[in-house]
Protein backbone atom coordinates (compact mmCIF):
# COMPACT_ATOMS: atom_id res chain seq x y z
CA UNK A 1 0.00 0.00 0.00
CA UNK A 2 2.87 2.32 0.87
CA UNK A 3 6.51 1.75 0.07
CA UNK A 4 9.52 3.87 0.91
CA UNK A 5 12.71 2.99 -0.93
CA UNK A 6 15.78 4.68 0.46
CA UNK A 7 13.91 7.91 1.12
CA UNK A 8 15.82 10.93 2.41
CA UNK A 9 14.74 14.50 3.10
CA UNK A 10 16.80 17.57 3.94
CA UNK A 11 15.62 20.74 5.61
CA UNK A 12 17.43 23.98 6.19
CA UNK A 13 17.83 24.22 9.97
CA UNK A 14 19.68 27.29 11.32
CA UNK A 15 20.93 28.11 7.80
CA UNK A 16 22.41 24.64 7.49
CA UNK A 17 21.18 21.83 5.28
CA UNK A 18 20.27 19.03 7.66
CA UNK A 19 19.27 15.48 6.79
CA UNK A 20 16.01 14.99 8.68
CA UNK A 21 14.98 11.71 7.03
CA UNK A 22 17.91 9.45 6.38
CA UNK A 23 17.57 6.55 3.90
CA UNK A 24 14.29 5.12 5.13
CA UNK A 25 13.02 1.91 3.56
CA UNK A 26 9.71 0.49 4.74
CA UNK A 27 6.60 -1.15 3.44
CA UNK A 28 3.04 -0.92 4.75
CA UNK A 29 0.51 -3.53 3.65
CA UNK A 30 -3.15 -3.00 2.80
CA UNK A 31 -5.42 -3.04 5.89
CA UNK A 32 -2.53 -2.63 8.30
CA UNK A 33 -2.64 -0.19 11.17
CA UNK A 34 0.96 0.92 11.11
CA UNK A 35 2.54 3.02 13.83
CA UNK A 36 5.42 5.46 13.72
CA UNK A 37 6.81 6.05 17.17
CA UNK A 38 9.79 8.06 18.28
CA UNK A 39 11.03 11.03 20.25
CA UNK A 40 10.01 14.54 19.45
CA UNK A 41 11.92 15.81 16.43
CA UNK A 42 12.81 12.29 15.21
CA UNK A 43 11.01 12.84 11.90
CA UNK A 44 7.60 11.15 12.31
CA UNK A 45 5.45 13.99 10.97
CA UNK A 46 7.90 14.54 8.13
CA UNK A 47 7.46 10.89 7.11
CA UNK A 48 3.66 11.37 7.06
CA UNK A 49 4.01 14.53 4.98
CA UNK A 50 6.17 12.60 2.51
CA UNK A 51 3.55 9.82 2.40
CA UNK A 52 0.69 12.21 1.65
CA UNK A 53 2.62 14.03 -1.05
CA UNK A 54 2.76 17.27 0.89
CA UNK A 55 6.54 17.37 0.56
CA UNK A 56 8.87 15.57 -1.84
CA UNK A 57 11.90 13.46 -0.99
CA UNK A 58 15.37 14.69 -1.92
CA UNK A 59 16.41 11.12 -2.52
CA UNK A 60 14.70 7.75 -3.00
CA UNK A 61 11.22 6.75 -4.17
CA UNK A 62 7.79 6.61 -2.56
CA UNK A 63 5.05 4.29 -3.84
CA UNK A 64 1.37 4.67 -2.95
CA UNK A 65 -0.95 1.83 -3.97
CA UNK A 66 1.86 0.35 -6.08
CA UNK A 67 2.36 3.51 -8.10
CA UNK A 68 5.32 5.81 -7.82
CA UNK A 69 4.42 9.15 -6.27
CA UNK A 70 5.62 11.89 -8.62
CA UNK A 71 4.41 15.15 -10.12
CA UNK A 72 2.23 13.28 -12.64
CA UNK A 73 0.57 10.74 -10.31
CA UNK A 74 0.46 12.76 -7.10
CA UNK A 75 -2.86 14.54 -7.58
CA UNK A 76 -4.72 11.31 -8.41
CA UNK A 77 -3.06 9.12 -5.75
CA UNK A 78 -3.41 11.61 -2.94
CA UNK A 79 -7.18 11.78 -3.57
CA UNK A 80 -7.41 8.31 -2.00
CA UNK A 81 -5.76 9.49 1.21
CA UNK A 82 -6.91 11.60 4.12
CA UNK A 83 -5.41 13.10 7.23
CA UNK A 84 -6.43 13.44 10.87
CA UNK A 85 -4.64 15.93 13.11
CA UNK A 86 -4.10 16.45 16.83
CA UNK A 87 -5.72 19.88 16.53
CA UNK A 88 -8.74 18.56 14.54
CA UNK A 89 -8.43 21.30 11.85
CA UNK A 90 -12.15 22.05 11.74
CA UNK A 91 -13.74 25.34 10.73
CA UNK A 92 -15.13 26.99 13.86
CA UNK A 93 -17.56 29.22 12.01
CA UNK A 94 -19.36 26.25 10.42
CA UNK A 95 -21.58 23.72 12.15
CA UNK A 96 -20.87 19.99 12.42
CA UNK A 97 -22.54 18.77 9.22
CA UNK A 98 -21.14 21.70 7.20
CA UNK A 99 -17.65 20.68 8.31
CA UNK A 100 -18.27 17.07 7.30
CA UNK A 101 -19.55 18.23 3.91
CA UNK A 102 -16.47 20.38 3.18
CA UNK A 103 -14.42 17.81 1.21
CA UNK A 104 -17.33 16.99 -1.09
CA UNK A 105 -18.01 20.69 -1.58
CA UNK A 106 -14.41 21.18 -2.63
CA UNK A 107 -14.74 18.23 -5.02
CA UNK A 108 -18.05 19.64 -6.32
CA UNK A 109 -20.00 16.40 -5.92
CA UNK A 110 -23.76 15.83 -5.91
CA UNK A 111 -25.21 17.71 -2.96
CA UNK A 112 -28.24 15.61 -1.98
CA UNK A 113 -26.37 12.30 -1.90
CA UNK A 114 -23.65 13.92 0.15
CA UNK A 115 -25.98 15.24 2.82
CA UNK A 116 -27.34 11.73 3.26
CA UNK A 117 -23.80 10.32 3.37
CA UNK A 118 -22.67 12.94 5.91
CA UNK A 119 -25.65 12.11 8.13
CA UNK A 120 -24.84 8.40 7.92
CA UNK A 121 -21.21 9.04 8.83
CA UNK A 122 -22.15 11.27 11.75
CA UNK A 123 -24.33 8.45 13.00
CA UNK A 124 -21.40 6.02 12.54
CA UNK A 125 -19.12 8.22 14.67
CA UNK A 126 -21.92 8.65 17.25
CA UNK A 127 -22.78 12.29 16.67
CA UNK A 128 -26.24 12.24 15.05
CA UNK A 129 -27.62 14.48 17.77
CA UNK A 130 -25.02 17.20 17.15
CA UNK A 131 -25.43 17.75 13.39
CA UNK A 132 -26.36 21.41 13.73
CA UNK A 133 -24.03 22.28 16.64
CA UNK A 134 -21.19 24.73 16.22
CA UNK A 135 -17.67 23.38 16.53
CA UNK A 136 -16.74 25.84 19.28
CA UNK A 137 -19.38 24.26 21.55
CA UNK A 138 -18.03 20.71 21.23
CA UNK A 139 -15.65 18.78 23.50
CA UNK A 140 -12.26 17.64 22.16
CA UNK A 141 -13.48 14.07 21.65
CA UNK A 142 -16.54 15.27 19.76
CA UNK A 143 -14.37 17.50 17.56
CA UNK A 144 -12.14 14.56 16.67
CA UNK A 145 -15.25 12.51 15.78
CA UNK A 146 -16.36 15.28 13.42
CA UNK A 147 -12.89 15.29 11.86
CA UNK A 148 -13.06 11.52 11.42
CA UNK A 149 -16.52 11.72 9.81
CA UNK A 150 -15.16 14.41 7.47
CA UNK A 151 -12.20 12.20 6.60
CA UNK A 152 -14.55 9.35 5.66
CA UNK A 153 -16.57 11.51 3.24
CA UNK A 154 -14.02 10.87 0.48
CA UNK A 155 -13.83 7.07 1.05
CA UNK A 156 -10.06 7.14 1.64
CA UNK A 157 -8.09 3.94 1.16
CA UNK A 158 -5.44 5.37 3.42
CA UNK A 159 -5.81 7.48 6.54
CA UNK A 160 -2.85 9.27 8.08
CA UNK A 161 -3.20 10.28 11.73
CA UNK A 162 -0.71 12.66 13.36
CA UNK A 163 -1.03 12.41 17.14
CA UNK A 164 -4.81 11.86 16.87
CA UNK A 165 -5.41 11.64 20.61
CA UNK A 166 -2.71 13.87 22.08
CA UNK A 167 -5.21 16.63 22.91
CA UNK A 168 -7.65 14.23 24.58
CA UNK A 169 -8.00 12.66 28.02
CA UNK A 170 -7.33 8.96 28.42
CA UNK A 171 -10.90 7.71 28.26
CA UNK A 172 -11.77 9.84 25.23
CA UNK A 173 -8.55 8.71 23.56
CA UNK A 174 -9.60 5.09 23.89
CA UNK A 175 -12.96 5.86 22.32
CA UNK A 176 -11.28 7.57 19.36
CA UNK A 177 -8.81 4.69 18.97
CA UNK A 178 -11.71 2.23 19.02
CA UNK A 179 -13.39 4.26 16.29
CA UNK A 180 -10.22 4.14 14.15
CA UNK A 181 -10.05 0.39 14.67
CA UNK A 182 -13.72 0.01 13.66
CA UNK A 183 -13.00 2.03 10.48
CA UNK A 184 -10.05 -0.22 9.70
CA UNK A 185 -12.25 -3.32 10.08
CA UNK A 186 -15.42 -2.03 8.44
CA UNK A 187 -13.95 -0.14 5.47
CA UNK A 188 -10.65 -2.07 5.23
CA UNK A 189 -8.82 1.24 5.41
CA UNK A 190 -5.07 1.22 5.83
CA UNK A 191 -4.13 3.52 8.70
CA UNK A 192 -0.78 5.08 9.56
CA UNK A 193 -0.60 6.54 13.07
CA UNK A 194 2.10 8.81 14.37
CA UNK A 195 2.39 9.09 18.11
CA UNK A 196 4.98 9.50 20.80
CA UNK A 197 2.55 7.77 23.17
CA UNK A 198 3.43 4.07 23.42
CA UNK A 199 0.04 3.14 24.89
CA UNK A 200 -1.75 4.58 21.84
CA UNK A 201 0.51 2.63 19.51
CA UNK A 202 0.12 -0.58 21.52
CA UNK A 203 -3.64 -0.27 21.60
CA UNK A 204 -4.02 0.27 17.89
CA UNK A 205 -1.21 -0.98 15.68
CA UNK A 206 -0.30 -4.29 14.03
CA UNK A 207 3.20 -3.09 13.24
CA UNK A 208 5.35 -0.24 14.41
CA UNK A 209 8.48 1.44 13.10
CA UNK A 210 10.63 3.03 15.78
CA UNK A 211 12.08 6.24 14.35
CA UNK A 212 15.35 7.56 15.72
CA UNK A 213 16.97 10.68 14.25
CA UNK A 214 15.37 10.19 10.87
CA UNK A 215 16.13 6.49 10.60
CA UNK A 216 14.14 3.31 11.20
CA UNK A 217 15.78 1.89 14.31
CA UNK A 218 13.50 -1.16 14.46
CA UNK A 219 10.23 -2.60 13.20
CA UNK A 220 8.08 -4.45 15.73
CA UNK A 221 5.01 -6.64 15.13
CA UNK A 222 2.34 -6.40 17.81
CA UNK A 223 -0.47 -8.71 18.81
CA UNK A 224 -3.82 -7.13 18.03
CA UNK A 225 -5.93 -6.41 21.06
CA UNK A 226 -9.65 -6.07 21.59
CA UNK A 227 -10.10 -2.41 22.28
CA UNK A 228 -12.71 -1.16 24.65
CA UNK A 229 -13.00 2.14 26.41
CA UNK A 230 -11.85 1.83 30.01
CA UNK A 231 -13.35 3.57 32.99
CA UNK A 232 -11.34 5.92 35.21
CA UNK A 233 -11.68 3.38 38.00
CA UNK A 234 -10.21 0.58 35.86
CA UNK A 235 -7.37 2.80 34.68
CA UNK A 236 -6.54 3.83 38.23
CA UNK A 237 -6.54 0.27 39.50
CA UNK A 238 -4.60 -1.29 36.60
CA UNK A 239 -0.80 -1.72 36.71
N1 LIG B 1 9.58 22.65 7.17
C2 LIG B 1 10.65 22.46 7.94
N3 LIG B 1 11.75 23.25 7.84
C4 LIG B 1 12.84 23.04 8.60
N5 LIG B 1 12.93 22.05 9.50
C6 LIG B 1 11.89 21.24 9.66
C7 LIG B 1 10.69 21.40 8.90
N8 LIG B 1 9.81 20.42 9.26
C9 LIG B 1 10.44 19.72 10.21
N10 LIG B 1 11.67 20.18 10.45
C11 LIG B 1 12.65 19.63 11.41
O12 LIG B 1 12.77 18.24 11.11
C13 LIG B 1 12.91 17.48 12.30
C14 LIG B 1 11.81 16.43 12.36
O15 LIG B 1 10.56 17.07 12.54
P16 LIG B 1 9.18 16.31 12.66
O17 LIG B 1 8.13 17.35 12.77
O18 LIG B 1 9.09 15.33 11.55
O19 LIG B 1 9.38 15.54 14.04
P20 LIG B 1 8.35 14.66 14.86
O21 LIG B 1 8.99 13.33 15.08
O22 LIG B 1 7.02 14.69 14.21
O23 LIG B 1 8.30 15.43 16.26
P24 LIG B 1 7.06 15.67 17.29
O25 LIG B 1 6.90 14.40 18.06
O26 LIG B 1 7.55 16.79 18.15
O27 LIG B 1 5.85 16.05 16.49
C28 LIG B 1 12.89 18.47 13.45
O29 LIG B 1 14.19 18.76 13.80
C30 LIG B 1 12.21 19.69 12.84
O31 LIG B 1 12.63 20.86 13.46
MG1 LIG C 1 5.18 15.50 14.75
Alpha carbon dihedral 190, 196, 198, 202, in 10-degree steps, equals 0
Residue 174: what pLDDT?
A: 87
Residues 6+ apart with CB under 8 A from 170: 230, 235
Three-state DSSP state, 222 = coil
Is it the case that residue 229 has pLDDT exceeding 70? no
The three state secondary structure string of 51-109 is HCCCCCCCEEEEEECCEECCCCCHHHHHCCEEEEECCCCCCCCCEHHHHHHHHHHHCCC
Residue spans per domain, the chain:
1-80+156-239, 85-155
Residue 100 and residue 153 in contact, taking contact as beta carbons nearer than 8 Å: yes
The span from the CA of 76 to the CA of 151, in Å, is 17
Pocket test for ligand 1, best of 8, 18, 45, 86 (most atoms within 8 A of CB): 45
Q: What is the C-alpha to C-alpha distance for residues 10 and 13, in angstroms, rounded to an integer?
A: 9
Q: Record the pTM.
A: 0.91
Lining residues, ligand 1, CB within 6 Å: 11, 13, 20, 38, 40-46, 196
Summarize the confidence of residues 109-133 as an average pLDDT.
90
pLDDT of residue 228: 67
Q: Candidates 3.40.228.10, 2.30.30.240, 3.30.420.40, 3.40.50.300; correct CATH number of 1-80+156-239? A: 3.40.50.300
Amino acid sequence: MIRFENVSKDFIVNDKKTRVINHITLSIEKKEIYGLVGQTGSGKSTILRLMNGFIEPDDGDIYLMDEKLDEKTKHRLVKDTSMIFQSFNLLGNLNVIENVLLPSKIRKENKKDNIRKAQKLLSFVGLSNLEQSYIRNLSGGEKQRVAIARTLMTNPKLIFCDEPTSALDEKTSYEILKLLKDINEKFETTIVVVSHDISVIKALCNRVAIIERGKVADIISLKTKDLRPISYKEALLSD
